[in-house]
Amino acid sequence: MQNHESDRVIDELRPPGGSSLVPPMEILRVLVLKELKVKYKRSILGFLWSLVTPIALAAVYLFVFVYVYKVGQEDYVKFLLAGILPWHAFNLSLLAGTTSFVDNGPTIRKVYFPRILLPVSIIIANMVNFLMVLALFSLVVVITGFPLWLHFHWVVLALLLQSLLSVGVVLTLSVWNVYLRDIQQLISIFLMVLFFATPIVYDLSLVPTAFRPFILANPLTSVMQMYRAGLVTGVAPDLGVILLGALESLVILALGYWVFARLSPHLAKEV
């Protein structure tokens, strides 16, 4: 974050007259707006970059799997986008969230506020961008004749699960990164492995039986299954997969908060 932007945020977070704390929701609003403004400042395309990048990635996989390997997946373009768009949002949340405390060191050292709001604000800002992209994609889905209104509840559940999972993972990684800066280097490797361990460019039914338990153990699998059900197939995903993903996401959220609560008290001294 640029120095003048950091100073402006610090001023907004300071309570007037120093007599009382700024309400947490107001702090969260300031931090989210800062993320949204800084991310696309002086950018011509603005939030559309959230759409351009995953579409470019989808085009590459479309060429490889349709024209090279000749995968016979029906509606493969929509199938790809229904996986890559939420993955891109999740990916951005983890990358930016992991360095949130380190990147905002001056703010943390100069003013007190609930530290948990920093990584949460980044996730919310990314989800706002994703919702705009999702609205555009949903419009295309409706235009192609898919009865979105009948299956959109799966998308809502997927959004909820994705948000909980993002918060849990980012809380852990962001606070670890303060004490061990190798985390921000390892996150790229982690995300690369996670991408291929999630049914994004392939259908879950294509995974060999021997490897399927490992793929199902990934909570993002249930997230992708629900996005596909709500936007592409209209077929309800397996209830067991959904419940497993929900349970894993809640456990990861609880563990993330526990790690954060243990390591966050000394953040101001370490960043």
Question: Consecutive sets of 10 residues in the chain, 271 residues long: mean pLDDT of each?
Answer: 54 57 81 81 66 84 80 82 94 94 86 90 93 92 93 96 97 94 90 95 92 95 97 94 96 97 86 75
Q: Give the pLDDT score at 265.
A: 87
Cβ-proximal residues to 240 (8 Å cutoff; 6+ apart), any chain? none
In this prediction the pTM is 0.89
Q: Give the pLDDT score at 266.
A: 84
Q: Give the pLDDT score at 67.
A: 79
**CA distances, 130 to each of 86, 107, 125, 145, 256 (Å):** 7, 27, 9, 23, 23
Tokens for 162, please give them.
């994705």
Q: Give the pLDDT score at 1.
A: 44
Q: Give the pLDDT score at 2.
A: 47
